[in-house]
A and B are shown apart, each in its own frame.
Chain A
Amino acid sequence: MPRRRLIITGLVLVVISLLAAGCFHSDDEGNGNGQAAQTGTDGDTGEGQEGGSVFQQVQDRGEVVCGVNEAVPGFGVSTEGGEYEGFDIDYCRVIAAAVLGDPNAVSFSPLTAEQRFTALQSGEIDVLVRNTTFTSSRDGAEGARFLHTTYYDGQGMMVRADSEYQTLEDLNGATICVLSGTTTELNLETVFSAQGIEYSPLPFEENDPLQQAFIQGRCDAWTSDISQLAGVRSAWPENQGGPEGLRILEEIMSKEPLGPAVRDGDDQWADAVNWAVLSTILAEELGVTSENVDQMAEESQDPDVQRLLGAPVEGEPFDPGLGLDPDFAATVIREVGNYGEIFDRNIGTGSSLGLDRGLNALWTDGGLQYAPPYR
């Protein structure tokens, strides 16, 4: 009997050692890879997960994995057919069109506010386009790299239209519904405590239970980015009075620059995503739309347009060395549209949200959307 036990113990031990050896072996490999990536690439392509840039991984995979929101009308919603649509969703398509030439080569990964940075850090997603505010600690501690701001937003406060609240001070003592894990939560505390307004926050992880609580009168006001509030308002259930049943207070509580983010330390991928986004703004500036893009590419004599669309100038198309095809911008504009088109279709005057361009107008129209020159 003891002998038998000895044999069994021995066997178990052998198995464990084998497993451990396997672990250490892969450890060595991992280190080797890391070093190879560091020495071989000399920093300019950066180091992604498997030693290469995400740019290369995306091209090998033939698909961009995009972290999105699925519950904000206008920015990112999943429709009944299982499709995704919205402003942020279109920017995922812009990136796919630029990198892979196909706006539909995107795999959408819906994330909650609290999950998003972990998903980005771990490499579960390639790019985060989920109405995410650019802040220093997200840039620093969360290891994210924020790219060109696609939407300049501010935090607002929404109340029922039949309530008597006109300013934030009227909300003294109120209960305020807020989405947890957002900058909104911090701004709320900052603004209200600075003004000495008493309140009680009620946090939610998802928009759906928050909406339920708000409808039932569990909270008096709902705070979020104004664009999000406008989206919620546009889709407000008819039995609750429809969009007219809600009112957004005029006060703006914060700055909320929303834009795409990628992992730190991968410059090639960051550049590609950034210029894919910038190309839509440059196109609007130059008057290139999804309708006239092919015509412009052939006929335009404007050297700026020719460079952007990759039309041959003196026999050679302009290539800024981003690793993207010279005509990537033409693909983006043809398949998805320029900034103005994307804005109007999803959140602007052509949509149920009806938001003004406001800060998001081109710099030439007094807004903040300003893209560096493409040359």
Chain B
Amino acid sequence: MRVLRWAFQAVFLFLVVAFLLYIWGNLTGNFERLGIRTDFRYLRQPAGFAIPDSDFRSSQSIFQALLQGAQNTAKVAFIGILLATLLGVIAGVARLSTNWLVRRTAALYVETFRNIPVLLIIIFLWSGLLQLPAIGEGREWLGLMSVSNRGIVVPWFERTGSVAVFLAVALVALLAAAAVWVWRTRRFDRTGEPPRRLRFAGGVFLAGLIVAFFLSGQPFTISLPETGRFGTTGGFRLATEYAALLIALVLYTGSHIAEIVRGAILAVHKGQTEASNALGLSGVQRLRYVVLPQAFRVSIPPMANQYLNLTKNSSLAVAIGYYELTRITGISISQGGPAPQAIFVLMLFYLMFSLFIALVTNLLNRKLEIPGR
């Protein structure tokens, strides 16, 4: 019986491999007939196009351009996941609020955004942001912030010297803060004194940062946005396309996460809520210490799914002109790169993103699992 099962497995594997080989042979055969290359050498050719808001130069290779594209995709995915989680948890909790207005508002948000295709939200937001004043007549607030349809610019740090010393001292401060954290925890365990770990450790870290800043000779200053004829220099610029993409993905994915959170909270046994009420915990305490920790455990697998969706949906930015992976692959194809290889490389990149997200969420899942189950 076992032999038979292995035999089946082997036959199945053989069929799959044979099928893939056939497809590959078909593809390369047709390519050869048309005189199109089947290797990946195009990746090493100079890109020839520019990518704004980056250090990428057009003389660098297409592979470097793809790496820059992956970086831009990661910029949307990482910040998008953080914000969508935040928004989703708030909306999910709000949907179960006892306050009628809060509950209804959350429901309106979730039902609206969950039922609109995300591409539509992206284009709608982008068109909306284009209605902001043009650069010449842009708004400025106290010289701190500049808003136009080129993007939103806020003050940011500007490097004026070496940051190595600063980073070294900051690292020491971080270690010190960690030590304080452990010390407060131990003391709490021993004496029952309120731990106040965040306050103590945070204070130590902040103090350390200030010391580091002056010790290393003030390696950066704050740069304020200055509006010129074509745009703003200085500060940190949130380009219109990036902002539209990010906000759209956060709103859309947030509405899905809200439903997951709501389901997960409802899955926590009612007895838990009643027990925490009986203990006299406040509403916030009940959520923070009893309900949410149990709800999160349930919600991690479906959340991982949403994170993957958000990352992959970022490819819809091709509609509005943000240089992410899919856009750069598209450009490289029309610049003479072979389409099947380029799409294959694109798939590998997205696969890496997906595997990384799966890895992180799986680790989190394992950590939060109830021991012994």
**Interface assignment of A30: CB less than 8 Å from any CB of chain B:** yes
**Interface assignment of A27: CB less than 8 Å from any CB of chain B:** yes
Within 8 A of A (CB), among B22-70: 22, 25-26, 29, 33-37, 42, 48-50, 52-53, 58
| B327, A20: Cβ atoms closer than 8 Å | no
Question: Looking at the complex, which of B71-79, B286-294, B332-340 is the stretch in contact with chain A?
Answer: B332-340
**Interface assignment of B344: CB less than 8 Å from any CB of chain A:** no
**Interface assignment of A364: CB less than 8 Å from any CB of chain B:** no
Within 8 A of B (CB), among A196-229: 199-205, 209, 212-213, 216-218, 220
| A209, B230: Cβ atoms closer than 8 Å | no
Residue of A13, A34, A141, A185 most packed against chain B (CB within 10 A): A141
| B29, A34: Cβ atoms closer than 8 Å | yes
**Interface assignment of A114: CB less than 8 Å from any CB of chain B:** yes
Question: Looking at the complex, which of B83-91, B130-138, B247-255 is the stretch in contact with chain A?
Answer: B130-138
Question: From A142, which residue of chain B is reached at the shortest CB distance?
Answer: B336
Which residue of A23, A182, A265 is within 8 Å of B22 (Cβ)?
A23
Contact A216-B130, Cβ < 8 Å, known A34-B29, A203-B323, A264-B34: yes
Which residue of A23, A202, A205 is within 8 Å of B318 (Cβ)?
A205
Question: From A48, which residue of chain B is reached at the shortest CB distance?
Answer: B33
Which residue of A9, A20, A193, A201 is within 8 Å of B18 (Cβ)?
A20
User: Which residues on A sit within 8 Å (CB–CB) of B229?
Assistant: 173
User: Which residues on A sit within 8 Å (CB–CB) of B240?
Assistant: 218
User: Which residues on B sit within 8 Å (CB–CB) of A182?
Assistant: 334
Question: Looking at the complex, which of B7-15, B173-181, B196-204 is the stretch in contact with chain A?
Answer: B7-15
User: Which residues on B sit within 8 Å (CB–CB) of A118?
Assistant: 333, 339
Contact count band on A: 35 or more
Instruction: Please report the C-alpha to C-alpha distance between residue A141 and residue B1 in the assembled complex, in whole angstroms.
Output: 53
Question: From B332, which residue of chain A is reached at the shortest CB distance?
Answer: A181
Question: Nearest Cβ in chain B — how far from A224, in angstroms?
Answer: 15
| B334, A114: Cβ atoms closer than 8 Å | yes
**Interface assignment of A325: CB less than 8 Å from any CB of chain B:** no
| A204, B48: Cβ atoms closer than 8 Å | no
User: Which residues on A sit within 8 Å (CB–CB) of B130?
Assistant: 212-213, 216, 218
| B29, A117: Cβ atoms closer than 8 Å | no
User: Which residues on A sit within 8 Å (CB–CB) of B230?
Assistant: 173-175, 220
Within 8 A of B (CB), among A27-41: 27, 30, 34
**Interface assignment of B330: CB less than 8 Å from any CB of chain A:** yes
| A209, B319: Cβ atoms closer than 8 Å | yes
Q: Mark B237-267, 1 if CB is under 8 A from A, else 0.
A: 0001100000000000000000000000000
User: Which residues on A sit within 8 Å (CB–CB) of B338?
Assistant: 141
| A23, B19: Cβ atoms closer than 8 Å | yes
Question: Nearest Cβ in chain B — how far from A18, in angstroms?
Answer: 11
Residue of A137, A200, A263 most packed against chain B (CB within 10 A): A200
| A47, B33: Cβ atoms closer than 8 Å | yes
| B48, A216: Cβ atoms closer than 8 Å | no
User: Which residues on A sit within 8 Å (CB–CB) of B34?
Assistant: 121, 143, 263-265
Instruction: Please report the C-alpha to C-alpha distance between residue A116 and residue B230 in the assembled complex, in whole angstroms.
Output: 34
Question: From B29, which residue of chain A is reached at the shortest CB distance?
Answer: A34
**Interface assignment of A190: CB less than 8 Å from any CB of chain B:** yes
Which residue of A141, A186, A220 is within 8 Å of B48 (Cβ)?
A186
| A143, B36: Cβ atoms closer than 8 Å | yes
User: Which residues on B sit within 8 Å (CB–CB) of A322?
Assistant: none
**Interface assignment of B228: CB less than 8 Å from any CB of chain A:** yes
Question: Nearest Cβ in chain B — how far from A299, in angstroms?
Answer: 47
User: Which residues on A sit within 8 Å (CB–CB) of B335?
Assistant: 137, 181, 185-186
Q: Mark B108-146, 1 if CB is under 8 A from A, else 0.
A: 000000000000000100010011001100000000000
Contact A175-B12, Cβ < 8 Å, known A180-B331, A203-B321, A265-B33: no
| B49, A218: Cβ atoms closer than 8 Å | no
Instruction: Please report the C-alpha to C-alpha distance between residue A2 and residue B1 in the assembled complex, in whole angstroms.
Output: 10
| A173, B231: Cβ atoms closer than 8 Å | yes
Q: Mark B307-338, 1 if CB is under 8 A from A, else 0.
A: 00000000000111101000100110111111
Within 8 A of B (CB), among A132-166: 135, 137-138, 140-143
Question: Nearest Cβ in chain B — how far from A372, in angstroms?
Answer: 25
Question: From B338, which residue of chain A is reached at the shortest CB distance?
Answer: A141
Contact A114-B36, Cβ < 8 Å, known A173-B228, A189-B58, A212-B130: no
User: Which residues on B sit within 8 Å (CB–CB) of A359?
Assistant: none
| A17, B33: Cβ atoms closer than 8 Å | no
**Interface assignment of A286: CB less than 8 Å from any CB of chain B:** no
| B331, A203: Cβ atoms closer than 8 Å | yes
| A141, B22: Cβ atoms closer than 8 Å | no
**Interface assignment of A363: CB less than 8 Å from any CB of chain B:** no
**Interface assignment of B184: CB less than 8 Å from any CB of chain A:** no
**Interface assignment of B149: CB less than 8 Å from any CB of chain A:** yes
| A27, B231: Cβ atoms closer than 8 Å | no
User: Which residues on B sit within 8 Å (CB–CB) of A200?
Assistant: 52-53, 231
Instruction: Please report the C-alpha to C-alpha distance between residue A173 and residue B226 in the assembled complex, in whole angstroms.
Output: 14
Instruction: Please report the C-alpha to C-alpha distance between residue A205 and residue B315 in the assembled complex, in whole angstroms.
Output: 13
User: Which residues on A sit within 8 Å (CB–CB) of B58?
Assistant: 189-190, 193
| A181, B333: Cβ atoms closer than 8 Å | yes
Instruction: Please report the C-alpha to C-alpha distance between residue A216 and residue B149 in the assembled complex, in whole angstroms.
Output: 8
Q: Can you offer 17 A-B residue contacts whose CB atoms are under 8 A?
A: A20-B18, A27-B25, A47-B33, A117-B333, A135-B336, A140-B35, A180-B330, A181-B331, A181-B334, A186-B335, A190-B48, A200-B53, A200-B231, A204-B321, A218-B130, A263-B34, A265-B33
What residues make up the interface of B, taking CB atoms closer than 8 Å to A? 1, 4, 8, 11-12, 15, 18-19, 22, 25-26, 29, 33-37, 42, 48-50, 52-53, 58, 123, 127, 130-131, 134-135, 149-150, 228-231, 240-241, 318-321, 323, 327, 330-331, 333-339
- The 4 residue pairs across chains A and B that have the minimum distance between CB atoms: A181-B334, A217-B134, A137-B336, A216-B130
What residues make up the interface of A, taking CB atoms closer than 8 Å to B? 2, 6, 9, 13, 16-17, 20, 23-24, 27, 30, 34, 47, 113-114, 116-118, 121, 135, 137-138, 140-143, 173-175, 180-182, 185-186, 188-190, 193, 199-205, 209, 212-213, 216-218, 220, 263-265
